[in-house]
Structure 1
Amino acid sequence: MFESLFSKGGLSLERLRSFLEMATAGSIAKAAPQDLTRQSLISRQIKELEEYFGTELTLRRGKTLSLSPAGERLATLVREQLQDLDDFRREQDLQPKVFTIGAGVSTLEWLLSPQLPAIATILGGALLRTEPRRSQHLVEGIQDGRIDLAIVRKDVIPDASRHNCQQIVKLTFHLCIPKRLLKRGTTGEQLSDVSIWQHLPFAAGRDTGTMDMAVRQGMTKLGVDFKPQFECESILQIRQLVRQGHCAAVLPNLATVGLEDASILTIPFAPLTNYGRQLVLHWNPRQMQRRGIEPTQLRAIAATMA
């Protein structure tokens, strides 16, 4: 059985593992940082696999190493088969399976983390590992099997895969202004006068991402000369500055919970009323079938965060 696989040397679990480590890390150096001996071994093992399969598994452009089409296919196969073997071993040892769930940093903080115990129960007491990444990277991880489940924006999922998701929440956006920055007695209704915003200190993103650009364009549309005093790496940092009363900001509804109790006035940010971003639970149906996750479990997981 499978004589063609074993008729010549060069194929081993250790070589496949080294290849997968390189494929996942993106380079040999990243797969074994500051370990020249290990880097040399991985390089040799990849060459041995290339000789065994009779094809190039990597492509080198200058100092950059990437996977060839054959290498990408092999990485997916190896990842799936090693995952199946690990699941089998855990089952025999009566140990829980391990699942990786990805989300953006702020989504992980506000939406996913509080529900991890409930999700673990739905998955039969599984060990859960979280992966903080941007939506685009998470979708790629779902497609190649590096990530089991992800909370992402629906608009970044390819059209052909959008049926493999369950809606969690629709994002709405709100202008949040600490009362200490306003004249005494200013009400939420009065904040519709954008002239009040003009001289407020603001915090915003610094990565020119889609949401940050939408906020900036919205301010321009309203005639506000928007020059943030603070440009932050994450919404978490922006929210903290608002909560401490240092500045105003436009925040998604997930970030406004609890701000009302911190002397913050919150009103809808009109330019993003129809922004319409949805957060969904996304998965790869092939991965779910292989790992024994039923559709009812997926719906239950999404429901914990809805």
Structure 2
Amino acid sequence: MAFKSAVLSGITMERLNALCAVVEAGTIVIAAGPDPNRQSLFSRHIKDLEKAFGTTLFDRTGKTLKLNENGRRVVLATHTFFGSLDDVMNSAVAAAETVILGANEAILRWLILPNLGELMASEPPLRFEVRSLPSEAALREIQTGRIDLAVIRTEVMAEDLESEPIAPIQHVFAIPRTLLRTKEGAEVFEGRPMPFAELGSDPFFAKSARATAKALGLNILPIIQVESFSLLMSAVESGTAAAFIPTIAARSLPEQRFAQVSAEAMKEMDRSLSLVWYAKSADSRPSIRRALTRLKRALA
């Protein structure tokens, strides 16, 4: 099969690599470093690629570059191409092939990492690089090929991705027993103010938590706002505040020190999750297909 792009003089591996570096760094200056000559070289590489493809790859506002849809498709194809070559090289020397997985911090900590041994144990070996990303950011990263797989909230799914639903994340209200007079979790429904830890980095979750607390008749008193689920857990573990936390995280809390409350109204906080990927990337890279098989089995 003859590929038109293979005979275009303006398309080289060096230029494609420079394009990916600029997208990864965000600007030509950061990607090329402080050397003005290298910055000019990177700028020429991008212009040469645009000339070869016959279209712009970025929308330009002053010196700001924003990857457009054509650019996104070129970067995705380039990542897939280079990733496939890396897989071949690693396979030739029996080295573990690398798959990049993105998900939010809670999913990585309590869903992915506990299964890491199973994910890496099978032959041929795989090496996972995990990146902590909110669902929206993970979606953008997979659309440009900067990550290979992602676990995201189902509602932010894009139509051009393949997906597999996985078990939803459920939540409980976890309370240090030192904050309870009777040490029983049902006490939280009596209306007494309850010191409460909020997740500030996720407006969707914070809004859902407040609405659920109101529906349950909980008199929450926010005393601390944190930026991750790990810190939310730390606030609870310190005995300082109660919080809504994932059920899978709450399993590590000793019953003698913490009460856990579940209620029907908390189902509104459930998060449907999907494992997502690009079909073409999986078709061209056996390492991604193997990672998908292992993840589906581990997260079932």
Instruction: Identify the TM-score tier after normalising by the shorter chain.
Output: 0.7 to 0.9
Q: Which residue of 2 aligns with 1:191?
A: 188
8 A Cα contact 2:208 2:268, kept in partner: no
Alignment deviations for residues 115-167 of structure 1 (CA, whole Å, 9 cap, x no partner): 12211234621121111101122223333332222222222223664x62141
Give TM-score, length-normalised by structure 2: 0.87
Matched position secondary structure for 1:115: helix
8 A Cα contact 2:177 2:184, kept in partner: no
Matched position secondary structure for 1:99: strand
State whether structure 2 residue 148 is matched by structure 1 residue 148: yes
Q: Which residue of 2 aligns with 1:131?
A: 131
Distance 1:39 1:271, change over 3 A: farther
State whether structure 2 residue 281 is matched by structure 1 residue 287: yes
Q: Percent sequence identity over matched residues?
A: 27
Q: What is the total number of aligned residue pairs between the two structures? A: 300
Q: 2-side partners of 1:100 and 1:31: how far apart? A: 21
Matches within 5 A, 1:64-83: 64-83=64-83
Matched position secondary structure for 2:260: strand
8 A Cα contact 2:212 2:269, kept in partner: no
Offset, 1:102:
1.4
Q: Which residue of 2 aligns with 1:212?
A: 206
Matched position secondary structure for 1:150: strand
Q: 1-side partners of 2:255 and 2:219: how far apart? A: 29
2:173 maps to amino acid: L
Q: 2-side partners of 1:50 and 1:296: how far apart? A: 35
Q: Which residue of 2 aligns with 1:239?
A: 233
Unaligned runs of 5+ in 1: none
Q: Which residue of 1 aligns with 2:163?
A: 164
Q: 2-side partners of 1:212 and 1:249: how far apart? A: 11
Distance 1:295 1:273, change over 3 A: same
Alignment deviations for residues 46-92 of structure 1 (CA, whole Å, 9 cap, x no partner): 12223333332222113421123332222122222222222222222
8 A Cα contact 1:122 1:297, kept in partner: no
Alignment deviations for residues 223-281 of structure 1 (CA, whole Å, 9 cap, x no partner): 55544110000111011110111111111212211213460111015432244322332
Alignment deviations for residues 192-211 of structure 1 (CA, whole Å, 9 cap, x no partner): 33x03x2x221101135211
Q: 2-side partners of 1:279 and 1:21: how far apart? A: 30
8 A Cα contact 1:150 1:282, kept in partner: yes
| Farther off after superposition, 268-277 or 236-245 | 268-277
Alpha carbon RMSD of aligned pairs, Å? 2.8
2:186 maps to amino acid: E
Offset, 1:176:
1.0
Q: 2-side partners of 1:255 and 1:274: how far apart? A: 18
| Farther off after superposition, 237-246 or 29-38 | 29-38
Matched position secondary structure for 2:79: helix
Q: Which residue of 1 aligns with 2:180?
A: 182
Q: 2-side partners of 1:78 and 1:160: how far apart? A: 17
Unaligned runs of 5+ in 2: none
Q: 1-side partners of 2:84 and 2:259: how far apart? A: 52
State whether structure 2 residue 31 is matched by structure 1 residue 31: yes
1:87 maps to amino acid: D
Matched position secondary structure for 1:165: strand
| Farther off after superposition, 146-155 or 174-183 | 146-155
Richer in strand (by share): 2
Q: 1-side partners of 2:290 and 2:78: how far apart? A: 28
Matched position secondary structure for 2:151: strand
Distance 1:9 1:288, change over 3 A: closer
Offset, 1:187:
1.6
Q: 1-side partners of 2:71 and 2:290: how far apart? A: 35
Q: 2-side partners of 1:37 and 1:227: how far apart? A: 57
Distance 1:232 1:262, change over 3 A: farther
1:302 maps to amino acid: K
